[in-house]
Structure 1
Amino acid sequence: MAKRKNSGYKKSAKKPYQSGKQNNKQSPPQGNRKNIKSKGKPDATGRNQRGKKRATIEVTCSGLTSEGKGIIEWDGKQLEVAYLLPGETAEVMVTKKGRLITAELKRVLKPSEDRINRLKQHPNAGVGCQIHHMNDQAQKRFKQKVVDDLMKPFGKPKPIMTMDHPYGYRNKNVMTFGLNRKKEIISGLYAENSHWIIPMEKSIIHDPKADEIIQTIKGMMKSFKMQPYDEDTGQGFLRHVLVRVGKKSGEIMVVLVAATPIFKGKNNFIKALRKTHPEITTIVLNINNRNDSMVLGDQEKVLFGKGTITDTLCGLEFEISASSFYQINPVQTEKLYTKAIEMAELTGEETVIDAYCGIGTIGLVASQKAGKVIGVELNKGAVRDAIRNSKRNGVKNARFYQGDAGEFMVQMAEHGEKVDVVFMDPPRSGSDEAFLSSVVKLKPKRVVYVSCNPETQARDLKYMVKNGYGVEEIQPVDMFPQTSHVESVAKLVRKV
Structure 2
Amino acid sequence: LNIDFMVTEFKKNKIPVKSIVQNVNTKKTNVILSDKNILLYGREYIQDMIENLTFNIYPNSFYQVNSIQMEKMYKRALDYANLQGTETVYDLYCGIGTITLLLSQKCKTVYGIEVVAQAIESAKQNAKINNIENAKFICGKVEDEIENLVAKSNMPNVIVLDPARKGCEEKVLDTILNVKPEKIIYISCNPSTLARDLKKLLSTQEYELKEVTPYDLFSHTMHIESVTFLKRVEL
Q: TM-score, normalised by structure 1?
A: 0.45
**Following the alignment from structure 1 to structure 2, what is the Cα–Cα distance between the partners of residues 283 and 307?**
8
> Partner of 2:70 in structure 1?
333
- Alignment of 1:430 with 2:154, yes or no, is no
Distance in 2, matches of 1:309 and 1:410, equals: 34
Deviations 1:434-485 (A, max 9, x none): 1100111222111100101122111111111113221111111112221111
- Pick from 306, 317, 323 the counterpart of residue 60 of structure 2: 323
User: Structure 1 residues 292, 415: CA separation in 2 closer, same or farther (over 3 Å shift)?
Assistant: closer
Tell me which of 146, 154, 157 is aligned to 1:417: 154
Q: Is the 8 A contact 1:285 1:303 kept in 2?
A: yes
- The aligned amino acid for 1:474 is V
Structure-1 residue corresponding to 2:121: 384
Task: Give the count of matched residue pairs.
Answer: 233
Whole-Å separation in 2 of the counterparts to 1:290 and 1:277: 35
Tell me the distance in 2 between the aligned counterparts of 1:383 and 1:411.
17
User: 1:355 is matched with which residue: 92, 112, 118?
Assistant: 92
Aligned-pair distance for 1:491? 0.8
Deviation at 1:406, TM superposition (A): 2.5
Query: How far 1:306 moved relative to its partner?
Result: 1.7
Q: Quick one: distance in 2 between partners of 1:455 and 1:480?
A: 17
- Give the aligned residue type for 1:438: T
Alignment match, 2:79: 342
- Matching residue within 222, 229, 233 for 1:491: 229
**Structure 1: unaligned runs, 5 residues or longer:** 1-220, 227-255, 257-265
State the partner residue of 2:136: 399
- The answer to whether the 8 A contact 1:410-1:442 is kept is no
Asked if structure 2 preserves the Cα contact closer than 8 Å seen for 1:318 and 1:389, the reply is: yes
C-alpha distance after superposition, 1:378-423 (max 9, x if no partner): 1101100111111111112101110122322223444573111100
Do 1:287 and 1:296's aligned partners in 2 also have CA atoms closer than 8 Å? yes
Matched position secondary structure for 2:226: strand
Where in structure 1 do 4 or more consecutive aligned residues deviate above 4 Å?
none
Distance 1:292 1:406 in 2: 24
What is the match of residue 107 of structure 1?
none
Question: How has the CA–CA distance of structure 1 residues 293 and 415 changed in structure 2, closer, same or farther, with 3 Å as cutoff?
Answer: closer
CA distance in 1, matches of 2:27, 2:34: 7
Q: Where does residue 288 of structure 1 map in the other structure?
A: 25
Amino acid at match of 1:490: T
Q: Percent identity?
A: 37
Aligned counterpart, 1:458? 195
Which secondary structure does the structure 2 equivalent of 1:369 belong to?
A: coil
| Rg larger in structure | 1
Secondary structure of 1:450's counterpart equals strand
Length-normalised TM-score, structure 2: 0.92
Aligned to 1:26: none
Alignment of 1:194-213 (within 5 A): none
Native 8 Å contact 2:143 2:169 kept in 1: no
